[in-house]
A and B are shown apart, each in its own frame.
Chain A
Amino acid sequence: MKFKKYLAENLVPPLLGIALFILFWAVLAQTSENLPGPMKTWDSAVALFSDPFYQKGPNDQGIGWNILASLQRVGVGFGFAALVGIPLGFMVGRFDFLNKMSAPIVNMLRPVSPLAWLPIGLLVLKAANPAAIWVIFISSIWPMIINTAMGVRQLPQDYLNVARVLNLSEWKIFTKILFPATLPYMLTGIRLAIGTAWLVIVAAEMLTGGVGIGFWVWDEWNNLNVEHIIIAIFIVGIVGLLLETLLVKIAKRFSY
């Protein structure tokens, strides 16, 4: 009985939402001659995913390779951003001088669309792939700096008093107090960063080409394969959702 109630409360509403969405899509597709309906898209998706890892030359590879290529770019760019951004965030949060020094630059550059950095990346790095990674780096670094710094600044005075009374060394303060206290904020920064990075990679790859889900969309547009474009939208959405869920899970483990 309880299980049934759980189902009714937690499974029925989202399923109903999805069903209505598909119904709306089907009706819309009926009225338009170019937009493929759900059934046609589903058939195309089944065909597409039946062989996700084929390789026929550099410009024709399975959908699996395209997704992995995009994820790899995000991973590398994001990793560099974490390596640079988190230590920077700690320093900006700990030293008010650095905070005031960096604030105008960070605040000015943060609202700039990451894609605007692509030409600079192409110019300096002289290749499309590193330039795409550079764009991911730039888009990920701001939330990491800002959230880490905020976490450091929000450190309760009580904990710092404990550190002073126990006369802890700087290293112990960092490992036992500063880092654990900042970790939830840092993870929020990481979550925001990976969300943005995943948003940006599709657009960046459309511009740089090569293997990747973004360029794949552009390629299918040139082939006028609208089913594949719709499938790509779902793929991007589902992968983004999975990344988000994973990070929320990790964040939950480290919240106090």
Chain B
Amino acid sequence: MKKYVQIENVQMSFSTKQGTFVALKDIDLKIERGEFITLIGHSGCGKSTLLNLIAGLLMPTEGVMLCADREIAGPGPDRGVVFQNHSLLPWLTCFENVHLAVERVFGATENKAQLHQRTRAALALVDLTHAEHKYPHEISGGMKQRVGIARALSMQPKVLLMDEPFGALDALTRAHLQDELMKIVAATNSTVVMVTHDVDEAVLLSDRIVMMTNGPAATIGEILTVDLPKPRNRLALANDVNYHRLRGAVLEFLYQKQAKKAA
């Protein structure tokens, strides 16, 4: 099967006052179309940096990055990003926030009615039709994050990139949004790369879990294939032996092999 996103020998260093700081090195990762990948690791391991590299917000100091056979030379609408803190524009309604993205990608080829239709469809996908004319400050944190997802998906990206999208939410809302996300990904057959520090979230959602070593000069430590059948159900998995084996493997990597030294 064709590799959709290819990351070859990527190194990322930042120049600081103390000299060059190598954040990532020797990163090799190939992602297939329709795959759900999570990046997990201790804070400071450069998992967000890797995501920003795929997004094109950062440029690697070494190595090659391809998305659908084209080199990643900067941010582009073929890679939709969901930010950790939603990053909605507060002076625009939910509808307008999504429409801004739709207009950019399809504005040249489609008429006004079609653009509106796309915006509505994206909001309907995250079940927010009723809140389309509300402003971000009028809706809850979980709803904001859903608008962020709608905005990213409305561009029909080749890859959906999510940077700890549910990190700032309470546990119940997070669980609810994870279920929603699973449905949306199944319905749209999206390719997803998601940064998380939540082991359960990683096992529940992923096809493969990319576990990263501690920084500086972090790299990919292990890649765990999650072979649980889909659709997955969090209640059924609670008593699933395989689920616990996979969860245990991630925990072992994080707290034994890459145990963070006491700060």
Contacts and interface: CB of A to CB of B under 8 A. Distances in A.
Interface of A: 158-159, 161-162, 164-169, 172, 176-177, 180-181, 256
A159 B75 contact: no
B100 A161 contact: no
A168 B91 CA distance: 17
B83 A166 contact: no
A68 to B, nearest CB: 36
A159 B86 CA distance: 10
Contacts of B90: 256
A78 B141 CA distance: 42
Interface of B: 55-57, 74-77, 79-81, 83, 85, 87, 89-92, 100-101, 104, 137, 155
Contacts of A164: 56-57, 74-75
Contacts of B83: 158, 161-162
Contact of A166 (B56, B77, B85, B137): B77
Question: What are the 6 closest A-B residue pairs judged by CB atoms, nearest first?
Answer: A256-B90, A180-B91, A158-B87, A164-B75, A165-B81, A165-B75
A165 B104 contact: no
Interface of A is mostly: helix
Given A167-B104, A172-B104, A159 B81 contact: no
Given A158-B83, A161-B83, A168 B104 contact: yes
A167 B91 contact: no
A161 B87 contact: yes
Given A159-B89, A177-B89, A180-B89, A172 B81 contact: no
A167 B100 contact: no
A165 B163 CA distance: 13
B192 to A, nearest CB: 16
User: Residue among A168, A176, A181 with the most chain B CB within 10 A?
Assistant: A176
Nearest to B101: A166
A182 to B, nearest CB: 11
Given A172-B100, A176-B100, A165 B57 contact: yes
17 contacts: A158-B87, A159-B87, A159-B89, A161-B57, A161-B87, A164-B57, A165-B55, A165-B57, A165-B79, A165-B80, A166-B104, A167-B75, A167-B77, A169-B104, A172-B104, A176-B89, A180-B89
A212 B45 CA distance: 68
A136 to B, nearest CB: 31
Given A164-B57, A168-B104, A169-B104, 10 more contacts: A162-B89, A165-B55, A166-B101, A166-B104, A166-B155, A168-B100, A172-B104, A176-B92, A176-B100, A181-B91
A115 to B, nearest CB: 39
A169 B77 CA distance: 13
Contact of A167 (B76, B85, B137): B76
Contacts of A176: 89, 92, 100
Given A168-B100, A168-B104, A176-B92, A162 B77 contact: no
Contacts, number: 46
User: Residue among A159, A162, A164, A180 with the most chain B CB within 10 A?
Assistant: A162
Contacts of B55: 165
B186 to A, nearest CB: 24
B17 to A, nearest CB: 19
A164 B59 CA distance: 13
Contacts of B101: 166
Contact of A256 (B81, B91, B100): B91
A159 B92 CA distance: 12
Contacts of B57: 161, 164-165
B85 A256 contact: no
Contacts of B100: 166, 168, 172, 176
Contacts of A181: 91
Nearest to A180: B91
A168 to B, nearest CB: 6
Contacts of A166: 77, 100-101, 104, 155
Nearest to A254: B91
A117 B23 CA distance: 55
